[in-house]
A = this chain, B = another copy of it.
Amino acid sequence: MNISDVAKRAGLPAKTIRYYEDIGLVRPLRSANGYRAFQESDLHKLAFLSRARTLGFSIEDCRILLALYEDPSRSSAEVKAVARAHLDQIEAKIAGLVEMRDTLGELVQSCAGDSRPDCPILKSLDGG
């Protein structure tokens, strides 16, 4: 398989796949012409990565998850620890964003949005 085939099937841009090779997440073989020659196993890995990234795992987490995936002697506890830590980060991020949304939502609500200059949003940013 050439890169654009794998890209389609894994749901990743070709550029991203090249980048993943750069940082050592996949190591496709090369054809005589220098083109990357992807095996089914490479496709598999890339699809795995695509899903892990969709769940918001960092590249470094992905690296760990891939290693665990390929290690038959792993314990599910190791996997769960990585996932739980990431889940906690997501929760924290949501909490921060919700706070932003609530504050900003109130401000937007209270702003007339007309042609006059008076604005509670600016007033709030001004320190009051």
Interface size class of A (residues with CB under 8 A): 35 or more
The interface residues of chain B lying within 8 Å CB-to-CB of A79 are 111, 119, 121-122
Residues of B near A105 (CB, < 8 A) are 87
Check if A47 sits within 8 Å of B83, measured CB to CB.
Answer: no
With a CB–CB cut-off of 8 A, which chain B residues contact A108? 80, 83-84, 87
15 A-B pairs in the complex with CB atoms less than 8 angstroms apart: A44-B126, A55-B100, A55-B103, A56-B97, A56-B104, A72-B117, A73-B117, A75-B116, A76-B119, A80-B119, A80-B121, A83-B107, A90-B97, A90-B104, A94-B94
A101 to B72, CA, bound (A): 27
Q: How many copies does the complex hold?
A: 2
| Majority-rule SS of A interface residues | helix
